[in-house]
Amino acid sequence: MKKKLVISTGAGMSAESGLSTFRDSGGLWDNYPVMDVASADGFARNPELVHEFYNKRRKELVKASPNEGHKALVELEKWYDTFVITQNVDDLHERAGSNYVLHLHGELMKIRSMRDESRVYQLDKDALETSVDTRDEHGDPVRPHIVFFQESVPNFEMAVELAEQADIFVVIGTSLVVYPAAALLNYVRKGIPVYYIDPNPAPVPPGVTVLKMRATEGVRKLVELLHP
């Protein structure tokens, strides 16, 4: 029976694919006030701006490709039951071939009904743009399928279950300051091997193996370390 490998990824996972991170110098928050484009209040105040912001993000995403780090994580599925929990809203893990990806903060390539949040729609790369005038098949207005600031994280309980079940836990490309995702480390059982890959790692508890590397280099090293 394969061991369960649970991997939590943040913005640094996709940075080498050319996608802007939010908090680094020159990142998205330098150009857009966060509460204007990524909060529930901001969407209520100026939905057109929010639609425009995510339209731009989608156009960037379809031009991007999974990097070697995304691809190397797929190799681990040969030896482990591998589960990716990601804070990222891109679809690069899926495009690289990862079979199980849980998105904590939503998915950029999806929209949903504002009247029934269970109605979620996949966007086509040839029809990426939405606006306040966009309607779904039921005539309802839509919004980005994104978890805004000020909203709960609906998949967090499922992420906690995965962290609790992990036989090996890995954190990649995150500053460990975004909650609740940063709290997942607290749910990993004592004695379970934990690896943390980041070029600028945050302080972590004793016993965590820190690989001070970018995602592509760090995941290659991880594959070496976890090869049976």
Can you read off the two tokens belonging to residue 8? 């939590």
Element (H, E) at 144: strand 142-146
Options 51, 70, 105, 145, the catalytic residue: 105
C-alpha dist (Å) from residue 50 to 102, 114, 173:
24, 14, 26
Residues 21 and 33: beta-carbon distance below 8 Å: no
Residues 12 and 199: beta-carbon distance below 8 Å: yes
Q: Quote the CA–CA distance of 155 and 115 in Å, as a whole number.
A: 20
Task: Give yes or no: 93 in active site.
Answer: no
What residues act catalytically?
Answer: 105
